[in-house]
Chain A
Amino acid sequence: MASNGKSSERQRIAQQRLRIIAGHLRKQEEADHIEIAAQECKAESSRTDTAKPNSVPKRRQEIMKWNGWGYSDSKFLFNKKGQAEFTGKRYRLSGLILPSLKEWFEGTFGANLQHKSPAAAALNAGAVPPPNLSESFVEELKATDIPFSHDAEDRVFRSHGHCLHEIFGLREGQYGRCPDMVVWPNCHIDVVKIVELACKHNVCLMPYGGGTSVSSALECPPEETRSIVSLDTSQMNQILWIDEKNLTAHVEAGIIGQDLERLLNESGYCTGHEPDSMEFSSLGGWVATRASGMKKNIYGNIEDLVVHIKMVTPRGVIEKSCQGPRMSTGPDVHHFILGSEGTLGVVTEVTMKIRPVPEYQKYGSVVFPNFQQGVACLREVAKQRCAPASIRLMDNEQFQFGHALKPQVSSMFTSFLDGLKKFYITKFKGFDPQQLCVATLLFEGDREKVLQHEKQVYDIAAKFGGLAAGEDNGQRGYMLTFVIAYLRDLGMDYYVMGESFETSVPWDRVLDLCRNVKERIVRECKEKGVQFPPLSTCRVTQTYDSGACVYFYFAFNYRGLSDPLNVYLQVEHAAREEILANGGSLSHHHGVGKLRKEWMQDAVSSVGLGMLKSVKEYVDPDNIFGNRNLL
């Protein structure tokens, strides 16, 4: 039977696709297991034939950390022997020993395993300020049957994103202003009801998707006197339909990345949108922040991927009347929604482009003698418009960092740096191990084209002194991006605090910007009394025709500082000033939130800001969506 054949073909592709995702995301078999198990447990009625996923329970704290990154069962720690290991079963690194991490960690930060700075053990519900509820709102909400809670744990969980200062505060047991209650709408209509009630009772609403914001977007404005209601979209998580003729899928905005991909994969499709936070971040969050996925070179960024958006605002529902692929109907109203950061309303449903799952996927890596050569190569690749699905260039520090995450192999007793030197001096003659840097690559498509493409890219790389360095190095590079947030928690256990931030910049300024920002961080840390030189590193993570996206990590040992958080905030502030002074943008994809608001006017001019304000004033005159981001 033709149709049967087709569906089994589809299943085959889906299986393959799953393996691919598992490849850079999680441990293969267990991952399948867990999710299948989770799905079986889920006993809710489904509105499509696809089973409703349940990766995100209402009580998130049951599977996720309330004061750190990710799943509760997964974390880095130094075991009794002083070796680093990663716990749990979810990831490829799970259960493995990382013999080099300790040396790298101590050497890089001057940290010491004897000096611990553990987090507060458990959430102290008594210390959470009591909720400020609007009785009338609660009364009417009850009548709608939409689930809600004002449990302290639920509220604290939704009082923050994942900026360093937010997590650091939680670890110290400081809770700040929390939402007064949480509501879990199940669908678009629920949202319409909630927004109506909020307007009626003058309650402040804050949309909450995956909670992965890194711009202070989810922080409750301390000056807000109204009752704040966190609108958790996690239960609006279904794929409502798939249109194979036009290759689109209509999806509820609360779905998180990994579920969306998994469910689409089952039908042989994918969106290809893979931000590093895709395990937790939501479709609505992507739209609201103008997110960018690692494979944007093939699939595009979120603004390229959306075909239709439905958003509930205090003025009513905004959506376009058709799904035409492009329109000339004045300024694109989608662009008021994309990047609105929860200030205008709740994105409830999105029609997204989908693609058949690629047949073949291959990692790769290239080692360059130095960062300049690497950047020149990426620029050339962008010029020839032959960038693979993903191409990223790590600087030397990050390359070393990546190496420190190599799981246990036989040569247990050689020190990390020695091993590194030996390997690279023998393998890449003439490359200085303190200078070389590595580009990681991910190719996708049909097998033949991938191999062809691969050759093209390696040929270009060779012109810039780049030498192919294997799939393994490439894959480890991508793994790093998924575990880096877990590593930050480990650092914080030992007096090391760190953060990442990003920008976009024209090609000709990439090198200057990278050098100056890294150096500025080092300088600022020194001036602010940080005892040990910080880790200050960057990578070029995206290429465009006219420029690139650059991502920075910085981390430092804060022992001996009386107010480490303040030092950190000042350094980050200085780094952003440096970025702007060097022609970088305020943000490529993290958004503005409240963290970068002070620069917004400079970034878009006062007229530009005025335009945005006037939209806000029209759409939400009473500031119901009062998270005070952006403007």
Chain B
Amino acid sequence: MASKSLCSRRDPVLKKRDDFEDVLEERRNSSDLRYAFKCYAPVLYKGLSPCTPTMLKTVVLQSEPLQYAINQVSAESGESVELVQEEAAAILEEMAHRLKLSTVRFFAFTLSKAFKRLFHSVCVNEEGLQRLQQAIHEHPVVLLPSHRSYMDFLMMSYILYTCDLKLPVIAAGMDFMSMKFVGEMLRMSGAFFIRRSFGGDKLYWAVFSEYVKTMLRSGYAPIEFFLEGTRSRTSKSLTPKLGLLNIAMEPFFKGEVFDVSLMPVSISYERVLEEALYARELLGVPKPKESTSGLLKARKIFSEDYGSMHVYFGSPVSVRSLAQGRINRSQYNLVPRHIPQKPSNEIQSFVNDTAYQLVRMQEENMVLKPWVLIATVLMQNLDGMELSQLVEQTVWLRDLARSFGAFLDWPDHTSSSKVVSSSLSLHRNLASVCGGRVCLLVGRPPGPESPETALFERAVSVLSCASYRNQILHVFLRPALLAVAMQAATSPRKDEVYNCFSFLRNMFSNEFILCPGESVQDFDEACYLLMKCGAVQMLPQGIGTTDSGRVTLPYLCAMLEPFMQGYQVVCRYLCEETTDNLTEKQFVPAVRSFAVKLHLAGSLRCYEALSSDLQKNALAALLRLNAVKKVKMADQVVLKVNKMAVNSLEDTLGGKIPTQKPVLARL
């Protein structure tokens, strides 16, 4: 089974991780300029045929697949082949990178200066880099970093340059291109640019996919892209996007390369640069356009302390090994390979499963700082708490997290209270200690204060804090789902608990990374972990709660509570408030104002319900469960709500309907 080969699920705790080294340390002790001009001679792919960015473009434009698409587009549109060819060339021009070592050296110099001001340390696992070097030599490599910040890909290239590894080419969103200068600089440091949406544009798709595949096949450079597609504003991993991964795997399926190595990279920040921006964005403040001046204004960022960051290069995953016994490659035998073929179901589900596994691997190797635990505790005590209590609960949670295999970076030889207070001081913009009590800091709204603006400001700080809690959710997720399921099930019988578990898992599979089709494995893992930490035991009559479980389980339930409530709010809105013509566009603002109303009326205390991320995920889940349908009307997409189904989902989430089976059956 594919999942087995990727990571051992049974005991994530036993997972061994590499040690870290700080790449900035040397920067602090020697000349940045000399470093920027150091000899750079990375190990290359063994089958590489040397090629410049310009040659690459020529190869792509002349390639059979692209020529085929050009002829097709020309035949369909009636435009001349020459014209379409020119269009293709223009698309490629707009897209292609122009990696230049001189630009990279410039970046190496300036980023050294910047990083040293921003971060205490940038810790990288050396062994991971060695694995990467070997992988680059052996096979085409795809680098798959997690995406939490604009910093991510700069940091990736910076590290690879520093460690004398082949610089990647990076798939970047077109939004950067609006910043003329920065865009061009990024292009010259290896970024290539893709439009955000080009759904039906055959020519664009052909240019794009051939460009990526050509680089991959020739082992030109590692290809880097973000599986999550965009920066996660919540610090939770996002449901992976499959387009690029599909493209990257195809050369293997078609036998054009022997193998492709997929390398998950986990980048974790002690303080995310965009922290407050994200919260505002989630609450509906439009995201500031990525303009050069905007970035320059971000200079104020430099006066702040962002603690340390960690970059963990995971183990390369061989597509060949994953596909062994799962994919019958001879399905490509009967059609010339340059003719695009819609991926078979077999391929689609393989790519999908792989993407999920990779995101999980990213999650597993995210380094978690003490602040993440503190934020988790604070999220359950939004009205503030005694510092001593906070320390105590944080330590308790740390031990629980450890027993679940969390990758914690908790200082060994420092007292717990010191650890907590130094974390609090780094995050003083989020929480403050005042008279021995710790509470979240709430900003003052710009302009006149009203109940609504006050709510909004409080939500900003809660969601900012929540984003740190979210970093560790993947550690607790399965046990927490089990804890909720045990609470909801009418009897402790394992099959009943499993039913509830599986319902919840299904409900939240747009919210969290839950690999499709692995419900049973997840359940087993959850049982295993809860037994291991002594919270439950297997009894003849089913799953029983132990004494310590009476503390642990409610705690875990509380961790998921905001999501349970948030989804119920969305359901309630859809049942109670919608007219027939709710458009997709209106959905988020409408739910938000509904939630605001509930808040102001005092009947809702959950802030996640205000987050567009949760609202969209809930909608996606309801669509997937067919409780809501999208209908195209004129040029609008309208949501058709099956109120009965939504209502009963809401009741089930609220614990009003005990067993979920009939609900699902009805859907």
Contacts and interface: CB of A to CB of B under 8 A. Distances in A.
Interface of A: 508-509, 512-513, 515-516, 519-520, 580-583, 602
Given A508-B336, A508-B337, A583 B258 contact: no
B256 interface: yes
Nearest to A582: B255
13 contacts: A508-B336, A512-B254, A512-B255, A512-B256, A515-B258, A520-B258, A581-B255, A581-B328, A582-B255, A582-B329, A583-B330, A583-B332, A583-B333
B258 A581 contact: no
B255 A509 contact: yes
Nearest to B327: A581
A453 B47 CA distance: 35
A580 B328 CA distance: 10
A519 B258 contact: yes
B258 A516 contact: yes
Contacts of A520: 258
A516 B255 contact: yes
Interface residues of B, number: 12
Given A512-B254, A581-B328, A583-B333, 9 more contacts: A509-B255, A512-B255, A512-B256, A513-B255, A515-B47, A516-B255, A519-B258, A581-B255, A583-B332
Interface string B294-335: 000000000000000000000000000000000011101100
A516 B260 CA distance: 12
Contacts of B333: 583
A509 B254 CA distance: 9
Given A508-B336, A508-B337, A580 B258 contact: no
Contacts of A580: 330
Contacts of A581: 255, 328-330
A509 B256 CA distance: 8
B528 to A, nearest CB: 31
Interface string B650-666: 00000000000000000
A583 B333 CA distance: 5
A513 to B, nearest CB: 7
A536 to B, nearest CB: 12
B259 to A, nearest CB: 8
A89 to B, nearest CB: 46
B209 to A, nearest CB: 18
Contacts of B330: 580-581, 583, 602
A515 B257 CA distance: 8
A258 to B, nearest CB: 38
A516 B254 CA distance: 11
A302 to B, nearest CB: 26
Interface in B336-355: 336-337
Contacts of A512: 254-256
A520 B333 CA distance: 19
Contacts of B329: 581-582
A602 B254 CA distance: 18
A196 B202 CA distance: 67
A602 B256 CA distance: 22
Contacts of A509: 255, 337
A420 B330 CA distance: 40
B177 to A, nearest CB: 36
- 4 A-B pairs closest in CB distance: A581-B329, A582-B255, A583-B333, A512-B255
Contacts of B258: 515-516, 519-520
Interface string B212-236: 0000000000000000000000000
Contacts of A582: 255, 329
A271 to B, nearest CB: 34
Contacts of A513: 255
Output the residue of B256, B258, B328, B329 with the most chain A CB within 10 A: B258
Nearest to B254: A512
A582 B256 CA distance: 9
A398 to B, nearest CB: 19
Nearest to A515: B258
A602 B334 CA distance: 13
Interface in B253-269: 254-256, 258
A580 B256 CA distance: 14
A80 to B, nearest CB: 41
B56 to A, nearest CB: 18
A580 B254 CA distance: 12
A312 B256 CA distance: 47
A532 B531 CA distance: 47
Contacts of A508: 336-337
A546 to B, nearest CB: 11
Nearest to A581: B329
A580 B336 CA distance: 16
B319 to A, nearest CB: 13
Interface in B563-602: none
A487 B337 CA distance: 39
A66 B337 CA distance: 47
A517 to B, nearest CB: 10
A625 B193 CA distance: 66
A91 B337 CA distance: 46
A583 B336 contact: no
A519 B333 CA distance: 20
A563 B332 CA distance: 36
A505 to B, nearest CB: 10
